[in-house]
Amino acid sequence: MSAESLKAGARALACASLVMAVDQITKQIAVAAVDPGHPKQIIFGVDFTNVRNRGVAFGLLGGGGDVVVVITIATIAFLLGYFVLHASRPGLWLVVGLVVGGALGNLADRVRIGAAIDFIDAPVWPAFNFADIAIVGGVAWLALMLLSPQPSPEHDAAA
């Protein structure tokens, strides 16, 4: 592994750790501040709530149980495998950090209490949490990266 790849791996690990820490802290704040079933309006219909999500992001696959855990672990493994092969790709460390940190934050809840803790409830959208924001942001960034043309090595050498 190159020095550049090791640096990218360290950045991804730091980002994932930060995402997971912020996720777990914000969930504990929600649990302490809001009783289940008694949301508090923050602004313009957005509620601070305390609900349990047995599915994946935004309630998809609700009640999935062990299937959700297996999908989460498989997704993390796939993304880490992709990262190992492409660690030098600019920005990929951030994608990996966001998605893996968010996935591990929700996975920690599932292992501990059997469901992810969601605490942001916006109008016409299922409740979600900081981990979900990180996952969706990371996946969106990855999609943009994969759809963007990569300069060829010959182009880099000519520049």
User: From the centroid of its chain, how far is CA 71?
Assistant: 14
Closest CA to 2 of 94, 85, 100: 85
- Given 23, 47, 109, 118, the catalytic residue: 118
Is there a contact between 30 and 50 (Cβ–Cβ < 8 Å)?
yes
Is residue 39 within 8 A of residue 48, CB to CB? The reply is yes
Chain centre distance of CA 77: 14
Q: Is 118 an annotated catalytic residue?
A: yes
Residue 35 is among the residues annotated as catalytic for this protein? no
Task: Give the catalytic positions in this structure.
Answer: 118, 132
